[in-house]
Amino acid sequence: MSEWIEACAADDIDAEDVMRFDHGGRTFAIYRSPDDKYYATDGLCTHEKIHLADGLVMDNIIECPKHNGRFDYRTGAAKGAPVCVDLKTYPVKVEGGKVMIDIG
Amino acid sequence: MVIIGAGMAGARAVVNLRASGWQGAITLIGEETLLPYDRPPLSKSMITDEAEPAPVWLLQDSVVASLDARVITGNRAVAIDRLVKAVELEDGERISYDKLLLATGAAPRRLTVTGGELVYTLRNYGDGDHLRNRLRASASAAIIGGGFIGLEVAASARKLGCRVALIEAQPRILMRGVPEDVASVIHARHAEAGVSLHVGTGLSAVETGGVVLADGRKIEAEIVIAGIGAAPEVALATQAGLDIDNGIACDATLRTSDPDIYAAGDCCSFPHDLFGGKRIRLESWRNASDQANVATENMLGGTKTYTAVPWFWSDQYDLSLQIAGLPGDAVSTVRRTVSDSAVLIFHLDGSGRLVAASGVGQGNAVARDIKLSEMLIGKRAAPDAASLADPGVSLKKLLQAASA
């Protein structure tokens, strides 16, 4: 079931960057890619529950700040050791300058 | 393919041999009775977690089975016969190798003062378990050594409510490889947490019930723990006649003086191209993992050199410290104050090249900037000091400029 919520303003995030968003006891990471598209994933690394929003975004990859696990944030795909479990992703849309994500 | 040592490097080597296409036999030999597990939690959550601890596995049974590897635990390699290319185990078994990887790690240095045998050290899971149980039963602890292990254990002991004294012979904590600006943040955090820090103070003896300092003062402690560094485990390599030079001496491809034997992790030294080919030895989680990847590729016929920028982290209380590069190679530093509680120090050599960056902050506040610094160091960049000092200048921009 869809449950669209407002995560942040579109210009809260720089291009090729990430921001943490907490809602209802859950934590998410919202990304803006170099080509200005927005994406959302679970906020914690699947390896040791580290907040990914403290990590570095390069192109379409987010790197965990602790153990350098890498994910393609567009698909959630884990890109090799030490991470082997993919990140969950969420649908995103931008409406009226707001980034909305579907956490349903 | 045979690997001696079942720590991070050994475990990683098993995985990467298969990932790189090796279809023959893989044997991993470990002294401990456990399958490979992650060591960073031993000084932290393993001590502080209320729940009974359990190892964080690097290779579980199911993974070992799916990789079709043989993992020998609770047994020790006692000799390497290089003529017939075989490893001899304590129980008499001989295992032949085409290529051998030594991932024997390092062992904690022991205190040489009177009573040194009463002291706990921390390296493996058994040590961690003893330390956890003993710390939980103690009201006071004395920690000898203001390096990473000592400081992490101090933070964990405070979390348990122990009265903690930390004794460091050098004029300040973290003398080796951490700049004063960063060490002072860590020192202040420990003092705030109630650790009593004695720096510039030698130790004269350990007694039942406490320690005696060089100046004659006595500090009561129900448990004494030493974190005074580690020495590479080279006994097997030495006996096999391999070259030793601050660890098992390797070339840049991590090959030892025997072309069929490689080494990775805490036990080996190697020349690093980024630092003028200087021979270094690194004791860190990521180095162990990265070196295992390079060594195993080369065991399968590759010619890859190890060029990764050294990187290290330490967590204490709510603070995390990270270092990339080799601060010891610098002649000057530039400070960037990121926030009230986060600071970055950039280390430059005589030509202005960035050779290291160190930082401390709450949580992972400095992680991203250290990662970007690591990439700048890898590119041999020489960003101007004013840009480095200005928190308004994004390191990503400096990286793009360096890549242009």
Residues B152/B44, Cβ–Cβ less than 8 Å = yes
pLDDT confidence of residue B323 = 96
Shortest distance between the Cα of B376 and any Cα of chain A, in A, equals 14
Do you find a cis peptide bond into A82, omega within 30 degrees of 0?
yes
Fold of A4-102: Rieske Iron-sulfur Protein (2.102.10)
pLDDT confidence of residue A65 = 87
Residue B26 contacts A, CB cutoff 8 Å:
no
Q: List, by residue range, all CATH 3.50.50.60 domains of chain B.
A: 2-106+231-299, 110-226
> Is the ipTM, as predicted for this complex, more than 0.85?
no
Query: Does the distance separating the beta carbons of A63 and B371 come in below 8 Å?
Result: yes
pLDDT confidence of residue A104 = 83
pLDDT at B341 over 90: no
Per-residue pLDDT tens for B94-131? 999 999 999 999 999 999 999 988 999 999 999 999 99
CATH architecture of the domain B2-106+231-299 equals 3-Layer(bba) Sandwich (3.50)
pLDDT at B340 over 90: no
For the segment B49-56, the average pLDDT, to the nearest whole number, is 93
Query: Does the distance separating the beta carbons of A68 and B286 come in below 8 Å?
Result: yes
Residue ranges of E strands in B147-247: 163-168, 196-199, 203-207, 210-213, 218-220, 223-226, 230-232
Cα radius of gyration (chain A) = 13
pLDDT confidence of residue A1 = 80
List the domain boundaries for chain A: 4-102
pLDDT at A83 over 80: no
Residue A19 contacts B, CB cutoff 8 Å:
no
Among candidate residues B171, B172, B175, B167, the one with its CA nearest the CA of residue B213: B167
Residue A20 contacts B, CB cutoff 8 Å:
no
For the segment B4-18, the average pLDDT, to the nearest whole number, is 97
Per-residue pLDDT tens for B76-95? 999 999 999 999 999 999 99
| pLDDT range class, residue B263, cuts 50, 70, 90 | very high
pLDDT at B215 over 90: yes
pLDDT confidence of residue B403 = 82
**B318-403 belongs to which homologous superfamily?**
FAD/NAD-linked reductase, C-terminal dimerisation domain (3.30.390.30)
pLDDT confidence of residue B196 = 97
Residue B397 contacts A, CB cutoff 8 Å:
no
pLDDT at B404 over 80: no
**B110-226 belongs to which homologous superfamily?**
FAD/NAD(P)-binding domain (3.50.50.60)
Question: Which residues of chain A make contact with B12, given a CB cutoff of 8 A?
Answer: 81
pLDDT confidence of residue A66 = 83
Shortest distance between the Cα of B196 and any Cα of chain A, in A, equals 29
Residues B122/B149, Cβ–Cβ less than 8 Å = yes
Per-residue pLDDT tens for B166-190? 999 999 999 988 999 999 999 999 9
pLDDT at A82 over 80: no
pLDDT confidence of residue B193 = 97
Q: Using alpha carbons only, what angle is made at residue B154 by residues A55 and A67, rounded to the nearest 5 degrees?
A: 20
Per-residue pLDDT tens for B244-259? 999 999 999 999 999 9
Question: Could you give the CA distance from residue A70 to residue A56 in angstroms, rounded to a whole number?
Answer: 10
pLDDT confidence of residue A48 = 77
Question: Which residues of chain B make contact with A16, given a CB cutoff of 8 A?
Answer: 396
Per-residue pLDDT tens for B346-389? 999 999 999 999 999 998 889 999 999 999 999 999 999 999 99
Residue B393 contacts A, CB cutoff 8 Å:
no
Query: Does the distance separating the beta carbons of B372 and A54 come in below 8 Å?
Result: no
pLDDT at A34 over 80: yes
Q: Using alpha carbons only, what angle is made at residue B286 by residues B62 and A84, rounded to the nearest 5 degrees?
A: 35
| pLDDT range class, residue A69, cuts 50, 70, 90 | confident
Residues A62/A55, Cβ–Cβ less than 8 Å = yes
Pairing between strand B210-213 and B203-207?
antiparallel
Q: Over pLDDT 90: what percentage of chain B?
A: 95
- Residues, chain A: 104
Q: List, by residue range, all CATH 3.30.390.30 domains of chain B.
A: 318-403
| pLDDT range class, residue B67, cuts 50, 70, 90 | very high
pLDDT confidence of residue B382 = 96
Pairing between strand B163-168 and B140-144?
parallel
Residue A69 contacts B, CB cutoff 8 Å:
no
What's the N-to-C CA distance of chain B in angstroms? Answer: 42
Among B371, B376, B399, B403, which would you mutate to test the A interface (most chain A Cβ atoms within 10 Å of its Cβ)?
B371
pLDDT confidence of residue B216 = 94
Q: Over pLDDT 70: what percentage of chain B?
A: 100
pLDDT confidence of residue A67 = 81
